[in-house]
């Protein structure tokens, strides 16, 4: 995963929030869904990504990839912890869950939507801006809850 891309966009976007506040983005696979620590706020944002199975090499794309965020602003320091949720190959019974590979355009949209959430949850601003939508992958494949970490953790949106 292109974590530097996330960090670069995150830093330039959070610089626009409040000049005296500094924000940091951390990847953390251990943040607990629906149980943010005291003082932290949670949001879940839908994006799209590609995956590749390390057992058989099969690739697939999904328009339902959840990214979990926990955020906190304390005095002048803000932290956002992020955990993109994994999926696994439907053809391999013993394949591990794979990390999503999110394209640059989708990362930019994701960070934009995250800024709205920060304004709302940490600054109590309501911007009224509509959520930006990522560029979906073609083909409406059925989502597979058995192979999706987001579904297993109860974070995937039901349609």
For the bound state, the minimum distance from the C-beta of residue 126 to Zn ion, rounded and expressed in Å, comes to 29
For the bound state, the minimum distance from the C-beta of residue 73 to Zn ion, rounded and expressed in Å, comes to 30
For the bound state, the minimum distance from the C-beta of residue 142 to Zn ion, rounded and expressed in Å, comes to 11
For residue 22, state whether it binds Zn ion (rule: CB under 5 A): no
Which CB, 71 or 89, lies closer to Zn ion? 89
Site pattern 113..152 for Zn ion (x: CB under 5 A): -----------------------------------x-xx-
Which residue, among 25, 20, 40, 19, has the nearest Cα to 107 in the 3D structure? 25
For the bound state, the minimum distance from the C-beta of residue 44 to Zn ion, rounded and expressed in Å, comes to 11
Residue 115 neighbours by CB under 8 Å, 6+ apart: 13, 14, 16, 17
Calpha distance 103→101 (Å, rounded): 7
For residue 96, state whether it binds Zn ion (rule: CB under 5 A): no
Question: Which is it for strands 77-84 and 41-52: parallel, antiparallel or unpaired?
Answer: unpaired
- Separation of CA 17 from chain center: 20
Per 3-state DSSP, the chain is made up of helix, strand and coil in percentages (nearest 5) of 25, 30, 45
Site pattern 42..81 for Zn ion (x: CB under 5 A): -----------x-xx-x-----------------------
3-state SS string over 82-105? Answer: EEECCECCCCCCCCCCECCECCHH
Residues making contact with Zn ion (CB under 5 A)? 53, 55-56, 58, 89, 91-92, 95, 148, 150-151, 156
């Amino acid at each position: 995963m292109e974590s530097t891309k996330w960090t670069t966009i995150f830093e330039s976007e959070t610089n626009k929030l409040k000049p005296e506040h500094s924000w940091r983005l951390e990847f953390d696979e251990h943040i607990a869904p629906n149980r943010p620590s005291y003082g932290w706020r949670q949001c879940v944002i839908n994006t799209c990504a590609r995956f590749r199975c390390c057992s058989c090499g099969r690739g697939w794309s999904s328009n339902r990839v959840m990214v979990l965020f926990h955020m906190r602003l304390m005095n002048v320091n803000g932290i956002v912890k992020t955990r993109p949720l994994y999926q696994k190959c439907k053809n391999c019974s013993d394949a591990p869950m794979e990390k999503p590979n999110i394209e640059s355009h989708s990362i930019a949209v994701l960070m934009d939507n995250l800024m709205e959430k920060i304004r709302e949850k940490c600054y109590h601003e309501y911007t009224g801006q509509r959520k930006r939508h990522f560029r979906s992958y073609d083909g409406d494949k059925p989502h597979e809850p058995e192979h999706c970490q987001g579904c297993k953790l109860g974070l995937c949106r039901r349609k």
